[in-house]
Structure 1
Amino acid sequence: MKRTEFLQKGLLATGALLTSSGLAVGATEMQKAAEGQPFNLNYGPHDGMFKNLAGNNMLDQIQFMYDQGFRGIEDNGMAGRSPEEQKKIGDLLAKLGMAMGVFVLDKGGNGANTLAAGKQENVDIFLKGCRQAIEVSKRCGAKFTTVVPGSFFRNHSFEIQTANTIEALRRGAEILEPHGIIMVLEPLSDSPDLFLRTSNQTYMICKAVNSPSCKLLYDVYHMQRNEGDLIANMERTWSEIAYIQAGDNPGRKEPTTGEINYKNIFKYLHGKGYKGVVGMEHGISGTGKEGEQRLIEAYREVDAFM
């Protein structure tokens, strides 16, 4: 090889390295620029998701969430916290401009209290939970409370069970509606004994209750397991959907760990103009600080749909 050719090729190689290095530096700078910036959607972490990075104190975790770009939280167990703690959480959220997502209605989760049976004692427990939800809402600013109508009551036909559930939910809606609180019904895949299973079934019940305080919680993880066809089913039931939760399948961990194309799901939600909290209703695939950092990175990855 001639000396001039050698020098030319050496310069070209050096230029390529510089260009590659420049791109790498640029990518790093872009990644750093994204850190702390609000996401395109309002993802809501749970208590404990950042305990290694932020500590065990819920208020410290909320501040950490905000610093990472999150603008909402969820707390299924909010009703079980002391009134003082509920208010402290609500005050901090208000100060930071963050949204409080769902909390589970007392005795309103899974098979704890079945409304399908039509028994007065079950309805009374449910209505007591609705009245309690009003006080919780005042303290923490929550406007959504999760309701799972419980298990099948197989002594009755499916139609009678449905009618019983609708009647109980109408009475709950009468309590919540004057306070602007929405109970969101969540169809689940945890157990085949649970009465509420699909988005279509929940849509029908919400239409029958006919109240702005009774809507559908679409948990993408559960609906992938129970019915699939995610975007199409969201589109069919959109008029009754008031709240979204996320979790990948299989495993119920953060997006990017399973089979669900969350970038497309979130792009769809953004296109629909969804402004509510997207509850991070899932576990974490990693452990320690590294796992929590990867959780943040996963949401940055699937949020890059613009």
Structure 2
Amino acid sequence: MKRRDFTKNIIAGTGLATLPSIAKASENTAHSNTTAQPAFKLKYAPHFGMFENSAGKDEIDQLKFMHEMGFRALEDNGMMGRSPELQTKIGDTMAKLGMSMGVFVIDGGENWKTSLTTGKQVHKDVFVNTCKKALETAKRCNAKYMTIVPGYFERNLPMGLQTANVIDAFRRGAEIFEPHGLVMVMEPLSDNADLFLRHSDQSYLICKAVNSPSCKILFDMWHMQRNEGRMTQHIDWVWDEIAYFQIGDEPGRKEPTTGEVNYKSLFKHIHEKAKATNRGEFIFGMEHGNSVAGKEGEMKVIEAYRVSDIS
């Protein structure tokens, strides 16, 4: 099932003395002589299009601009739809820049219209074949994490059977990725009540049942704020199965500081917990829009992450 079918002031005193040079950089493309900004403490991952007013429409120029602004990761939900040549070029450029590849979506295409919850063999076959294609994409762009979603709730089947069907399908996918050290990250979503996977504890149960290092949780903090709230508590409860985070303030699904979520506190909590449990660095996908259009809005996104980054 195509994931896109599911998902249709405070800068004073924060060390942003580099803002004039950021503004100067925004007037040029990424390959021009811009002033590089210090790297963020955490690996925030913008997506293509987020800075195209500043960097231009070329993906490689955008990637270079992201690096110059201090970002050290990228996520690209649509990577599987890009040409193999561009996938390789993106991967090679990130390697040269010292950037990490975040998630892309395991996209089954137009024929994958129904859900893994049904248990139908035809849908499991499409899922497995798409995982095999995703493996090749991951190799080209140096990705480790790939987003998966199980689909819609099947009203004609008991919840336990649906859960078993999803576990069975995800085990098949994990068998493909585990020998290569790659990780499917399942994402609970909030977009409508018909979605099967909506909560972190439900995702935790499925991960434990699949029992593979290649099947983990993508904890999208925008979706989880809408579905659950109490994010610090829920993160702690399912901590050992989380492999990836995504960001979006609520309401609006824009950059941090535009809504009710205290991202500075959440980033600090995650960072300190990761150190205490020897989890290493997480990638934080910036899966949100810009609250203000144009170059001004792009600078506001950078400012928001400077404000919210850990000390």
Per the TM superposition, whether the score is higher than 0.5 is yes
Give the 3-state SS of the residue equivalent to 1:272 in structure 2. helix
RMSD: 2.1
1:273-306 Cα distance to aligned partner (Å, 9 max, x none): 2512100000010011000011100000011x32
Query: Paired residue for 1:218?
Result: 219
1:123-177 Cα distance to aligned partner (Å, 9 max, x none): 0111011101110011000011000000011111000000011011111101111
Query: Paired residue for 2:74?
Result: 73
1:100-142 Cα distance to aligned partner (Å, 9 max, x none): 0000002289x94411100001101110111011100110000
Are the equivalent residues in 1 in contact too, given 2:217–2:243 (CA < 8 A)?
A: yes
Query: Paired residue for 2:28?
Result: none
Q: 1:282 aligns with which of 285, 288, 295?
A: 288
Give the 3-state SS of the residue equivalent to 2:117 in structure 1. coil
Return the alpha-carbon distance in structure 1 between the equivalents of residues 56 and 247 of structure 2.
24
Matches within 5 A, 1:1-306: 29=17, 36-107=37-108, 112-273=113-274, 274-303=280-309, 305-306=310-311
% identical aligned pairs: 57
C-alpha displacement of 1:27: 6.3
Give the 3-state SS of the residue equivalent to 1:156 in structure 2. coil
Give the 3-state SS of the residue equivalent to 2:38 in structure 1. coil
1:197-227 Cα distance to aligned partner (Å, 9 max, x none): 0000000000000000000000000000000
Structure richer in helix, relative to its length? 1
Return the alpha-carbon distance in structure 1 between the equivalents of residues 21 and 209 of structure 2.
48
Instruction: Letter of the 1:72 partner, please give it.
Output: A
Instruction: Letter of the 1:68 partner, please give it.
Output: M
Give the 3-state SS of the residue equivalent to 1:203 in structure 2. helix
C-alpha displacement of 1:30: 6.5
Are the equivalent residues in 2 in contact too, given 1:73–1:99 (CA < 8 A)?
A: yes
Cα distance change of structure 1 residues 108 and 219 upon mapping to structure 2, 3 Å threshold? farther
C-alpha displacement of 1:38: 0.9
- Pick the structure with greater CA Rg: 1
Gaps of 5+ in 2: 1-11, 23-35, 275-279
Instruction: Letter of the 1:295 partner, please give it.
Output: V
Return the alpha-carbon distance in structure 2 between the equivalents of residues 138 and 148 of structure 1.
21
Cα distance change of structure 1 residues 255 and 29 upon mapping to structure 2, 3 Å threshold? closer
C-alpha displacement of 1:269: 1.3
Which of 1 and 2 has higher RCO (CA within 8 Å, sep 6+)? 2
Give the 3-state SS of the residue equivalent to 1:116 in structure 2. helix
Count residues in correspondence: 281
Cα distance change of structure 1 residues 58 and 154 upon mapping to structure 2, 3 Å threshold? same
Cα distance change of structure 1 residues 25 and 182 upon mapping to structure 2, 3 Å threshold? closer
Q: Which runs of 4+ in 1 moved over 2 A?
A: 24-35
Return the alpha-carbon distance in structure 1 between the equivalents of residues 304 and 129 of structure 2.
39
